[in-house]
Structure 1
Amino acid sequence: MNPVPTIALAGVHGYGHSYLARLRPRIAAGTFRWAGVADPRLGVGALPEGLPADVPRYGDLADLLAEQRPDVVAIATPLHTHADLAERALRSGADVVLEKPAVTGLGEFAHLLDLAQAEGRSVQVGFQSLGSAALDHVRTRVAEGRIGEVTGFSAAGCWVRARSYFTRAPWAGRRRLGERVVADGVLTNPLAHAVATALAVAGRQSLEDVLAVEVDPFRVNDIETDDTTSVVVSLRDSPDLVLAATLAAAEPGEPFVVVEGTRGRMTLYYTLDVVVEELPGRPPATTQHPRVDLLDDLLRHRLDGRPLRSPLASAGAFTRVLDAIVNGPRPRVVRPDAFRVVELPDGDERRELPGVEEAVHEALRRRSTFSGCGVDWT
């Protein structure tokens, strides 16, 4: 192993920009050295911002790995390409940072897990929220009995997405693309962190921890997959987890995870690393927590073997939920008179579902799906 590990990045456009931004200071500090980047669009137009001109560039990861032997490969490509590219990287002898969702089905998950073990390599899944000390804080306080006996876990997100979001790529808004599962639904991609973070807070992250999944999907936008969905997840030796999310809110809100107890509740705003603890007779206590970047976490793991914050094995429960959504009922189409079209200044537009925020909170309150709460959008 080189004293300064080399890193390759697959995917420099789209979300790959965030990896370029995160790698820039680490390259400058000598934490990593570039092995190269791979992206089929690198030969079209100007180089992406943050990519030095002297970094070796390739049209695909196979070409890069034929010439380079990176210690680490970061993969920030479309969802349905993750498993194949991760397999190539693992077989080349690299550790992998794999953007979320790591895979789009249980078969891919089992295959990659077995391959990583056989190759003796590590896979860190890009659920950045799992690098937050806020999770440790919540789990510790809950274990100490601060909110009494836990009665339920939940997570929610109300976001806004315009038409251009769903037309940004051929795979956007798709369940499948040809024979490949894409899984670009509200809880499996844009708000996947809500699911993964809630499962981590509950301490139920393995495949075996998910006993059953009830899925209630809708679509407001003209897409194949779901954009407004509620899910009830039955967990092993634990209260249920209720999830509710939409991409058709009136205004974007901070997604959150809640732990309910007999004596209070704790709310984690995972994008902010903020925890609010509420106990009867006391004002809410708000705490802010640091976060470790998962790239740095992988480096520490390589140096001293400490456990990864977001290893592939811990994405098992999330993958079982994803698999249930993808292979569950097709999203029901929201009738046209139930939503409104909002024109945007740049010629874009978005669809807004009035009352969806209230429906999300009612699902959490009643610990049920939208349909179980009597919602009628179709």
Structure 2
Amino acid sequence: MSRPKVAKLAIVGCSGYAMELIKRIWMFRGEIELVAAFSPDLTLPEVALCEQRGVRVIDDFDSFIEYIEHRVHAVMNPTPIHRHKEISIRCLQAGLPVWVEKPPVATLHEWDELREAARFYAKPVEVCFNALYLPSVRLVKDRLLQGEFGRMHRIRGVGAWARPRSYFTRSDWAGHLRVDGDWVLDGTINNPLAHLLCNCLYFGGAEAVSMARPVKMSARLWHANDIESEDTSSLRIITDTDVEIVTNMTLCSERMVAPEMTIETEKADIVFRDFQDMDICWHDGKIEAFPSARENRLDMLETLCRSLFEEVMTPCPLECTRPFTEVVNAAFYQVLSRSEGCVPSVHPGALNRFVCTDGPCIGLCGIDQLVLDAYREGAMLDLPCASGESSRLDLELVEELSPHASEGMPT
């Protein structure tokens, strides 16, 4: 990084994922300074670690905002999903740019409110879909828009991870549809594997910094774990750029399938592996490889810090993310409105139990092969529901789904 000033940041939180970001900030010695962190619990070991590194940790949020108002250039907001809008707006009111963790918010109504606040206070909100910050992503998106690969036909995505039961009990919002009346919509499409859906929409977008808007979609959501939201999903989307997107994701796989997406075009298939490495597989047999030089969160931090001092085209400003929230809301609305406000549970006969490195898990029998087969065929998953009813839903116009979702999903 080369610029005349040190980027001074604050972060809301200092444990969990916030600490993962803090560790990466500390890798940019002399280039990024973490000035302050908010933590309601000052007894955490992470607080002591921050204080040892000269970070001021404050346990009252109003005092935190007052302290950072004239001391930092931007605030990172890796808080629970249902807190994203509220905390981001508080930071905007203090005159500070905000880098909010993905997803931007839970609902379209919240998205509209946050965008309006960003416009009113004239400060940028960037969304930390970190995979989009890889140099190779921008390069390939530009080449797609220039028509080098011919017409884009379809984008396929897959990911299968294991998450232990403790993952869903680690907080009051994990695995939930809502908390204290606020929508969360936790699950594969809106949290751990949200990058996959985001990447598909981004590469399908008609402009350099844009996501394709959903026109029609069909959603299938299930849960194997004892949660109210989903841990397994299957989406089919037809976009305004006339591209079909199909994703299949789960958190219930004994064998991990690293996230992967394939962009099918007239002249080549472009494969993006594990949110890091990309290959262009030309139909004439030539392969262009784009291995990532470093972890994408480091690219994200560097790009966002540069944007504080110079004109930089960031890949994921809030303004381009509405299609993502539109898809999430339409998917949940489509499923919940047809299942009495509940995400369908998978039939008990399809479940298995295993232990992963993080503890006991509830899994789906053979789900790793099922998602891989669906990925290769560009097909949707079809899992048995405990109710005995089919989870299949036809393609529906998103404009008939998301307006209802923005007003509030069925309960």
Question: 261-270 or 217-226, which moves further after superposition?
Answer: 261-270
* Equivalent residue number for residue 158 of structure 1: 160
Residue 305 (structure 1) shift: 2.3
* Equivalent residue number for residue 355 of structure 1: 366
Kept after mapping to 2: 8 A contact 1:79/1:182: yes
The one-letter code matched in structure 1 to 2:369 is E
Q: 1:143 to 1:125 in 2, by over 3 A?
A: closer
2:351 matched to 1:339?
yes
**Structure 2 residues without counterparts, runs of 5 or longer:** 336-341, 387-411
The one-letter code matched in structure 2 to 1:120 is A
Kept after mapping to 2: 8 A contact 1:294/1:309: no
**Deviations 1:151-188, CA, capped at 9 Å, x for gaps:** 11121111111111111111111111120111211111
Kept after mapping to 1: 8 A contact 2:222/2:344: yes
Residue 80 (structure 1) shift: 1.0
* Equivalent residue number for residue 312 of structure 1: 318
* Equivalent residue number for residue 329 of structure 2: 323
Question: 2-11 or 90-99, which moves further after superposition?
Answer: 2-11
Alignment of 1:1-378 (within 5 A): 3-26=5-28, 28-29=29-30, 31-41=31-41, 43-48=42-47, 50-53=49-52, 54-69=54-69, 70-143=72-145, 147-203=149-205, 209-272=213-276, 274-282=277-285, 284-290=287-293, 291=296, 293-329=299-335, 330-343=342-355, 348-371=359-382, 375-376=383-384, 378=386
**Deviations 1:307-328, CA, capped at 9 Å, x for gaps:** 2222111211111112223333
Across the two proteins, how many residue pairs are aligned to each other? 369
Q: Which whole-Å CA distance do the structure 2 matches of 1:227 and 1:179 have between them? A: 21
Cα RMSD after superposing both structures: 2.4
Q: Which whole-Å CA distance do the structure 2 matches of 1:141 and 1:265 have between them? A: 13
**Structure 1 residues without counterparts, runs of 5 or longer:** none
Q: Which whole-Å CA distance do the structure 2 matches of 1:102 and 1:87 have between them? A: 12
Kept after mapping to 2: 8 A contact 1:210/1:236: yes
Q: Which whole-Å CA distance do the structure 2 matches of 1:50 and 1:157 have between them? A: 34
Residue 345 (structure 1) shift: 7.9
Q: Which whole-Å CA distance do the structure 2 matches of 1:212 and 1:50 have between them? A: 49
Residue 150 (structure 1) shift: 1.8
Question: 111-120 or 56-65, which moves further after superposition?
Answer: 56-65
Q: 1:156 to 1:60 in 2, by over 3 A?
A: farther
The one-letter code matched in structure 1 to 2:281 is E
Q: Which whole-Å CA distance do the structure 1 matches of 2:34 and 2:146 have between them? A: 45
Q: 1:148 to 1:126 in 2, by over 3 A?
A: same
Kept after mapping to 1: 8 A contact 2:213/2:323: yes
Q: Which whole-Å CA distance do the structure 2 matches of 1:322 and 1:49 have between them? A: 38
Q: 1:310 to 1:270 in 2, by over 3 A?
A: farther
Residue 86 (structure 1) shift: 0.2
Kept after mapping to 2: 8 A contact 1:106/1:323: yes
Structure 2 counterpart SS, 1:169: coil
The alignment's TM-score, normalised by the length of structure 1, stands at 0.89
Question: 82-91 or 208-217, which moves further after superposition?
Answer: 208-217
The one-letter code matched in structure 2 to 1:236 is D
Q: Which whole-Å CA distance do the structure 1 matches of 2:8 and 2:81 have between them? A: 24
Percent same amino acid at aligned positions?
Answer: 24
The alignment's TM-score, normalised by the length of structure 2, stands at 0.83
Q: 1:280 to 1:313 in 2, by over 3 A?
A: same
Kept after mapping to 2: 8 A contact 1:206/1:316: no
Kept after mapping to 2: 8 A contact 1:21/1:50: no
**Deviations 1:57-94, CA, capped at 9 Å, x for gaps:** 21243221123313211111111111100000000000
Q: 1:338 to 1:207 in 2, by over 3 A?
A: same
Kept after mapping to 1: 8 A contact 2:132/2:138: no
Residue 355 (structure 1) shift: 2.5
The one-letter code matched in structure 2 to 1:323 is N
Q: Which whole-Å CA distance do the structure 1 matches of 2:134 and 2:350 have between them? A: 38
The one-letter code matched in structure 1 to 2:12 is A
Q: Which whole-Å CA distance do the structure 2 matches of 1:171 and 1:86 have between them? A: 19
Residue 293 (structure 1) shift: 2.5
